[in-house]
Amino acid sequence: MKKTFELDELDCANCGAKMEAAIKKIDGVNDCSVSFLTQKLTLDADDARFDAIVKEAKKVCKKIEPDCEIIVK
């Protein structure tokens, strides 16, 4: 499944790049792209574990940039 999330308070471009690299390493993630300019995260991951992966991605994101939040609608 491929889904796009908005990122709130992503203030630094390099953090975005770091997040992208870190999220790609999560088990079950096929592809991930963080766009600092559109403030969006595109996540392509296994259907079965999608929600768990999103949760993990949120954690990773917090770790790199404490103020940044992945908005799950």
Q: Output 2 or 48, the one with its CB closest to other proteins.
A: 2
Strand runs (DSSP E) across 1-73, as ranges?
2-8, 29-35, 40-45, 69-71
Q: Is the separation of the CB atoms in 6 and 40 below 8 Å?
A: yes
Total residues at interface with other proteins (CB under 8 A): 22
> Which residues in the 2-31 window bind other proteins by CB under 8 A?
4, 11-14, 16-18, 20-21
Distances (CA, A) of 60 to 18, 65, 68: 10, 9, 10
Q: For residues 60 and 55, give the distance between their C-alpha atoms in angstroms, rounded to a whole number.
A: 9
Q: Output 51 or 67, the one with its CB closest to other proteins.
A: 67
Candidates 3, 8, 28, 38; binder of other proteins (CB under 8 A) is: 38
Q: Which residues bind other proteins (CB under 8 A)?
A: 4, 11-14, 16-18, 20-21, 33, 35-38, 40, 42, 63-67
